[in-house]
Amino acid sequence: MADPKGFLKHTDRELPQRRPVDLRLTDWREVYTDFSRETLRTQASRCMDCGIPFCHNGCPLGNLVPEWNDLVYRDQWEAGMERLHATNNFPEFTGRLCPAPCEASCVLGINQPAVTIKQVERELIEKAWEDGTVAPVPPSLRTGRRVAVVGSGPAGLAAAQQLTRAGHEVTVFERADRIGGLLRYGIPEFKMEKYVIDRRLAQMTAEGTVFRTGVDVGVDVSVDRLRSEFHAVVLANGSTVGRDLPIGGRDLDGVHQAMEYLPQANRVANGDTVDGQITAAGKHVVIIGGGDTGADCLGTALRQGATEVHQFEIMPRPPVERAASTPWPLYPLMYRVSSAHEEGGDRVFSVNTEEFVGSDGRVTGLRAHEVRMVEGRFERVEGSEFELKAELVLLAMGFVGPERGPLLDGLGVAYGDRGTVARGDDFGAVGVPGVFVAGDAGRGQSLIVWAIAEGRAAAAGVDAYLMGSTELPAPIVPTQVAQR
């Protein structure tokens, strides 16, 4: 245990500061300032090394949180890093981007602010990169088995790294021009700068993973070829179909899915030129969807110089404190203020959009009204109708599943109730031997930490399929998610 009295001596939870709003709106860099490692050690000392560490259970990866808190407190960073990498291939992604269900379930959080688990994770991995201790881990033997991973988001990357290290020849196919999935083209630079992906890809390449970009599997490489050239396939193709809003005026110019808008902004932030870029510059913008994707659109629109931004959410505003419906150790329903919300824009709750209006084929505004929840259903609030100027509308209402096209049709996969690819407990696609499913493609729209957990679990399934048994560690993923 770090310091037996740490949680009594240090009752405050300290986190890094965000850069001033005026400053950070002028660039695309990450919003947080550096954090002193001495302060971090003090924060790590708050960990009680609980007999039943609920943080383990809260983390989909089963991260060994109290162990690394103790090692950081004792200044044993390399050992701490080894324990962190034991369960998580990419702590630099989760240390920046995870909503930290581990902290929501931290026992200290019952009557004090939770341990800053995510910050300890982030600093551990960043120090390891600085110290040059994140070295390639090439396999000690080669199995001669070839595995294709389709999709290079966190699920595909985690599966690929595990399988390469187990000695298989792994090729990751990505239809985009760069590797990373939503890490690359969904998540804005101000949440995670892209060098963070690139340095990890260099490690993976040195270990032997092969990356092929610009390859739409099912189109550029046929399913027959995929099956004949590889002994196993991991589908990590994501949940890429955005939920639509089929109301009047949907086809007007200027109404876009968030994932039509964000990738272009990410490209430009990384030096690319995008002809006819969708931009918020000088526009009144309405974002429909109050979640994280909407917040990413907000921060992006503000950096592009939007005149005004509204973010609509149909649900009522959550309570400021943990809602009674989500008691500890559940992930709390509560009002959250992301860095983008701090930067500007108006958040509008309990609102339903009726229609987009426009002239000359371009959107100019929308009509909406307030709603209230009555017995679990939305009811219109009479007399609450309003119009709002909108020259750019971004739909950020979530994703309904993976695309059904030549890849999934060609493989003949089955689908579960949620429109995702059905798989068994070993992550094998139902009815398609040798094909495995990881991440949002099988789970539905989720989180990076779940994608990594699923990538690791699917890799264990593949290894067992190819070799008869496996020693690859696999997090326990609930069976209701690994649906049949």
55 binds, among ligand SF4, ligand FAD, none (CB under 5 to 8 A by kind): ligand SF4
CB of 449 to ligand FAD, least distance (A): 6
- Site for ligand FAD (CB under 6 A): which residue of 149, 306, 366, 407? 407
107 binds, among ligand SF4, ligand FAD, none (CB under 5 to 8 A by kind): ligand SF4
Long-range contact list for 195-203, CB < 8 A, 24+ apart?
196/92, 196/93, 196/96, 199/129, 199/134, 200/90, 200/92, 200/157, 203/134, 203/135, 203/136
> 408-447: which residues touch ligand FAD (CB under 6 A)?
439-441, 446-447
Of 14-22, 215-223, 248-256, 467-475: span binding ligand FAD (CB under 6 A): 215-223
Counting contacts by CB under 6 A, is residue 292 touching ligand FAD?
A: yes
CB of 27 to ligand FAD, least distance (A): 19
The residue among 181 and 345 lying less far from ligand FAD, judged by its C-beta, is 181
Counting contacts by CB under 6 A, is residue 151 touching ligand FAD?
A: yes
The residue among 32 and 54 lying less far from ligand SF4, judged by its C-beta, is 54
- What residues line the site for ligand SF4 (CB under 6 A)? 47-50, 53-55, 65-66, 69, 106-108, 115, 117
Could you tell me the two tokens for 137?
A: 């881990």
The residue among 61 and 84 lying less far from ligand FAD, judged by its C-beta, is 61
Of 21-29, 70-78, 214-222, 364-372: span binding ligand FAD (CB under 6 A): 214-222
Number of residues that bind ligand FAD (CB under 6 A): 39
The residue among 166 and 295 lying less far from ligand FAD, judged by its C-beta, is 295
How would you classify residue 75: left for phi > 0, otherwise alpha for psi between -120 and 50, otherwise beta? left
Counting contacts by CB under 6 A, is residue 98 touching ligand FAD?
A: yes
The residue among 2 and 158 lying less far from ligand FAD, judged by its C-beta, is 158
Question: Considering only CA atoms, which of 282, 303, 309 is closest in space to residue 396?
Answer: 309
- Site for ligand FAD (CB under 6 A): which residue of 28, 173, 261, 436? 173
106 binds, among ligand SF4, ligand FAD, none (CB under 5 to 8 A by kind): ligand SF4
Long-range contact list for 216-221, CB < 8 A, 24+ apart?
216/175, 217/148, 217/150, 217/173, 217/175, 217/407, 218/405, 218/406, 218/407, 218/408, 218/409, 218/410, 219/405, 219/406, 219/407, 220/175, 221/173
Determine the Cα–Cα distance for residues 369 and 382; give it in Å rounded to an integer.
Answer: 8
CB of 241 to ligand SF4, least distance (A): 37
Long-range contact list for 423-432, CB < 8 A, 24+ apart?
423/482, 423/483, 423/484, 424/482, 424/484, 425/479, 425/482, 425/484, 426/461, 426/464, 426/465, 427/454, 427/457, 427/458, 427/461, 427/462, 427/482, 428/461, 428/465, 429/235, 430/484
Determine the Cα–Cα distance for residues 327 and 456; give it in Å rounded to an integer.
Answer: 30
Determine the Cα–Cα distance for residues 283 and 393; give it in Å rounded to an integer.
Answer: 10
Counting contacts by CB under 6 A, is residue 400 touching ligand FAD?
A: no
Per CB under 6 A, residues contacting ligand FAD are 97-98, 150-156, 173-176, 181-182, 186-187, 191, 215-218, 236-238, 240, 262, 292-293, 296, 407, 439-441, 446-449, 451
